[in-house]
Amino acid sequence: MTDHDIRVLDDSQYRAAHTLFRSTLHHPPTNDDAWKFIRESYEPGRALGAFAEDELIGTVQAFPSRMAVPGGAVVPHAAVSRVGVRSDWTRRGVLSALQRAQLRSFVESGDVVATLRATESLIYGRFGYGVASRYRTVRVDRSRAVPRTRIAGRVRLVDLEAGERIARSLYEEVAPRRVGTIGRWPAWWSMNLHRPTPEDNPRIAVRSSAGQDDGFLVYKVKPGAHDVSEKKPTTLEVVDLWARTPEAWADLWLFALGVDLVAEVVAFGRPVDEPVEWLLGDRRACKSFGEEDETWLRLVDVPAALGARTYRDGVPVLIGVRDTYLPDNTGTYRVSADGVSRVSDAPEVVLDVDTLASTYLGDVSFSTLAATRRLDVVEPDAPARADALFAVSETPWCGTYF
């Protein structure tokens, strides 16, 4: 018997839910100017609240999206965010109840996968989320960063309105080519490009070649002190960078590295395999910091998720899946280069749905998880067979924070 209930929030409750969420992160309520932007990100039916005697004590929401999976398919995806339980109600089953209700709503709406960004790493595994991609922070010392090459195309600055239009179009085209990327909902763009105070708005550079736009860079410059003795360097922050071709990617990075009166260039949340250092004569001018988990992935519909991606050539493997929160996913799946089918055979390797999620995009191997005792091996060669089937040619990366 619980002393709270879960309800779908309506427009009159969104701001209270957002205030509660911010309080769990120890932030004050959003001011009126900022709320004008944030309000747009709440969509009917996508935000839930936990109530005790009509008092809001917890909340969670999700943005409608899609995700690119190995092989080029794009599947319906829910981007989970703004999860919080009031501090006087934690450890009383509120979050579990919210998660159960939200996962059921994903099933009903046809979402195949869900993802989130975890503030704390020990919370979401029990709800079926597993780490499926990573990112790194890059910091370049411009005093040492002499590029080995020059900009080959044309990189121009554009105003915010035109830049947003170009960026949205290019992102929709380019992003799905990389495994792990997600579709961005309209409010994501407004919240990330338009700030309550104009001076906080980012700048946008667009790269073109042969008269066609093929990449964009969103960046901010944080002024420091020009006197290096004050140790307050002017920093250029790469906020968002996407390109149709390697040539466009290189030109946009070269542009960022060439902006005058900047002491360092910093990029957060970049792919772990992005070769920025190879653009420089002195590779040591580029430092990589804080490789961290990025995407926490939940397979909402395991048969649909496994069936959506492709597999490499190899000997089939029988994978047993356990799912406490969505028991319909529990069962044995035969995975082969020809596809996936649900079978009644005994599994050759058994794992929980959060562990399967970690393998799904190809960022970690079954053999690694077997070695660390994250799955049960029935047939000794099963992890190696699964590795061969699930292998991908490019490290998964999302590149969108929400």
Predicted local confidence at residue 173, as pLDDT: 98
> Quick one: 31 and 145 in the same domain?
no
2 carries a ligand binding annotation = no
Residue 219 annotated in active site: no
Describe the crossing of helices 382-390 and 353-360 by its angle, rounded to 10 degrees.
50
Structural domain contains residue 123: no
The residue from 42, 129, 219, 402 that is catalytic is 402
> Quick one: 32 and 162 in the same domain?
no
356 carries a ligand binding annotation = no
95 carries a ligand binding annotation = yes
Q: Which helix (H) or strand (E) holds 63?
A: strand 55-68
Spans in the chain with pLDDT lower than 70: 1-2, 196, 226-230
Instruction: Using alpha carbons, list the distances in angstroms from residue 290 to 65, 150, 287.
Output: 27, 29, 10
d(CA 397, CA 402): 14
Residue 340's SS3 state is strand
120 carries a ligand binding annotation = yes
> Quick one: 374 and 345 in the same domain?
yes
Predicted local confidence at residue 231, as pLDDT: 73
Residue that is last in its domain, among 225, 259, 293? 293
The residue from 124, 127, 135, 219 that is catalytic is 124
> Quick one: 321 and 378 in the same domain?
yes
Q: Which helix (H) or strand (E) holds 64?
A: strand 55-68
Closest CA to 242 of 193, 296, 181, 161: 181
Predicted local confidence at residue 1, as pLDDT: 46
Our count of domains for the chain comes to: 3
Structural domain contains residue 126: no
Half-sphere exposure of 300 (CA within 13 A, CB side): 26
> Quick one: 235 and 141 in the same domain?
yes
> Quick one: 156 and 287 in the same domain?
yes
Specify whether the CB–CB gap between 40 and 187 falls below 8 A: yes
Specify whether the CB–CB gap between 329 and 353 falls below 8 A: yes
Q: Quick one: three-class SS letters along 129-183? A: CEECCEEEEEEEECCCCCECCCCCCEEEEECHHHHHHHHHHHHHHHHHHCCCCEC
Residue that is last in its domain, among 293, 324, 339? 293
83 carries a ligand binding annotation = yes
Structural domain contains residue 373: yes
> Quick one: 142 and 279 in the same domain?
yes
d(CA 147, CA 281): 6
310 carries a ligand binding annotation = no
Predicted local confidence at residue 37, as pLDDT: 87
Q: What is the CATH number of the domain that holds 349?
A: 3.30.1050.10
**329-332, Cβ contacts within 8 angstroms, sequence gap of 24 or more:** 329/299, 329/301, 329/302, 329/303, 329/353, 331/302
> Quick one: 70 and 148 in the same domain?
no
Its domain, for residue 356, covers 301-390
Specify whether the CB–CB gap between 276 and 116 falls below 8 A: no
> Quick one: 213 and 277 in the same domain?
yes
Residue 124 annotated in active site: yes
Residue that is last in its domain, among 262, 293, 324? 293
Structural domain contains residue 75: yes
Q: What is the CATH number of the domain that holds 276?
A: 3.40.630.30
Predicted local confidence at residue 2, as pLDDT: 66
Structural domain contains residue 120: no
Number of H helices, E strands in the chain: 10, 19
Q: Is the pTM of this model over 0.75?
A: yes
Structural domain contains residue 141: yes
> Quick one: 145 and 276 in the same domain?
yes
d(CA 133, CA 81): 17
Describe the crossing of helices 160-174 and 186-193 by its angle, rounded to 10 degrees.
140
> Quick one: 276 and 350 in the same domain?
no
Structural domain contains residue 399: no
pLDDT, tens digit (0-9, with 9 covering 90-100), for 185-228: 999 999 999 876 777 889 999 999 999 999 999 999 999 876 65
Token readout for 55 is: 């008092």
Predicted local confidence at residue 336, as pLDDT: 98
Predicted local confidence at residue 386, as pLDDT: 98
> Quick one: 272 and 313 in the same domain?
no
Structural domain contains residue 341: yes
